[in-house]
Amino acid sequence: MLLGTRKNYNIANSLLKKGFKEKNTSHTHLIFFIDGKKTSIFTFISHGKKEISDELMHKMAKQLKLSHEQFCELVDCSMNGETLREFYLDEGIVKL
C-alpha cells in the first residue's frame, strides 16, 4: 500500500501533537515522550525536503516501530497520542 507523499511540516506537526518533542540538529529529530520521560522511539525529518516520499515514510514508520498503515493513521490524525502511547506500552515496545 502506498501512502503517497506528505509535507514535512505536516508530518512534524502531527507528531508534535501526539507526544513527540523536537530537537533541531541538521535534521529535525523527533523523540517520543511518555509522562514526561524520553523513550527510545524517534525519527528524523529533513529541513530541506518539502515533500516526504512514500519510500522515506516507510523508513520513518520502521524507525517508529509502526506499520506503514499505522504511520499513515498517525500522520493523518486518525490515531491520537493516547492510542499511540497505549500501543507502545501494550506491545512492550516502551517500558515505564
pLDDT of residue 38: 95
In the chain, which stretches have pLDDT less than 70? Answer: 1-3, 48-49
pLDDT of residue 40: 95
Kindly list the structural domains of the chain, giving each domain's residue range(s) and its CATH number in brackets, ordered by start: 6-90 (3.30.920.30)
pLDDT of residue 24: 74
Q: What is the pTM of this model?
A: 0.87
95: cell is 517500558
- Residues sharing a CB contact under 8 Å with residue 4, sequence separation 6 or more, in sequence order: 54
* Cα dihedral sign, 48-49-55-56: positive
